Amino acid sequence: LQVALPYKPYFYIATRKGCEREVSSFLSKKFQGKIAKIETVPKEDLDLPNHLVGLKRNYVKLSFNTVEDLVRVRKDISPAVKKNQEQGHASDAYTAMLSSVLQGSSVVIDEEEASKKVTDQWDNIVDMREYDVPYHIRLSIDLKIHVAHWYDVRYRGSAFPVEITRRDDLVERPDPVVLAFDIETTKLPLKFPDAETDQIMMISYMIDGQGYLITNREIVSEDVEDFEF
């Protein structure tokens, strides 16, 4: 017995500050019949110079009826994003505003004026996010459907949504062998480590209560004495 679970795939795009409405209208007309829904949502941007302060920026969420429509639209948007990032549009007014706030001053940005200066809305699309998440992974994450669990599935016809309820009482959790590890690397201030330039300094791992430490001798030349944590 199989049950269909409708769920719209989606990805996000980032626009220049204040251009979300114009870009949304442009894409709605450009891809009429392919984009099922367009909405603006606040999301954390981990590429900001100091993403830990909790500020968010607006992203445009594009939802689709099929994965094929998503791929077609993504293919058309991708060249514009690449071109704009190469031209430096990704460092937009939002980053300038954040830097100003952190320095204790204020900046007034005329969002409508910024939009009017660009007649080609392709130039206002500066980034794409979560466009490469496979559909089955996207669905399992969003709906919290995971492996190694039992679920009750209730289907009452196409007029009603499918109900999926996890049954934690059916299977007791096993007693697995647990391996936990942590990697410390070099990095620039307020940035995430970059695999192209940063090095691994040390790796600590623990298995069944016994901890171990692996060090990079190019950075940590002396022996590290045993310690508890």
Q: What number is the average pLDDT over the span 145-150?
A: 87
Residues 61, 40 contacting (CB under 8 angstroms) = yes
Half-sphere exposure of 35 (CA within 13 A, CB side): 21
| Average per-residue pLDDT for the chain | 84
Quote the pLDDT of residue 107: 47
**Which is higher by pLDDT, 171 or 135?**
135
For the question of whether the overall pTM of this predicted structure is more than 0.75, the answer is no
Closest among 193, 188, 220, 192 to 204, alpha carbons compared? 220
Q: What number is the average pLDDT over the span 9-22?
A: 94
The CA-atom distances, in angstroms, between 175 and each of 49, 170, 171, 178 are 42, 16, 12, 9
Quote the pLDDT of residue 59: 95
Residue with tokens 């996000």: 12
Long-range contact set of residues 164-167: C-beta below 8 Å, sequence gap at least 24 = 164/5
Banded model confidence at residue 52, pLDDT cuts 50, 70, 90: low
pLDDT(218) > 80: yes
Quote the pLDDT of residue 116: 45
The predicted-structure confidence for 88-98, as pLDDT tens digits, reads as follows 754 555 555 55
Half-sphere exposure of 206 (CA within 13 A, CB side): 9
**Which is higher by pLDDT, 209 or 185?**
185
**Which parts of 7-156 are beta strand (E)?**
10-15, 35-44, 56-64, 125-129, 150-154
In degrees rounded to 5, what are phi and psi of residue 135? -60, -45
Banded model confidence at residue 103, pLDDT cuts 50, 70, 90: low
Residues 17, 125 contacting (CB under 8 angstroms) = no
Determine the Cα–Cα distance for residues 51 and 98; give it in Å rounded to an integer: 10
> Which range is least confidently modeled, 31-35, 145-149, 171-175?
171-175
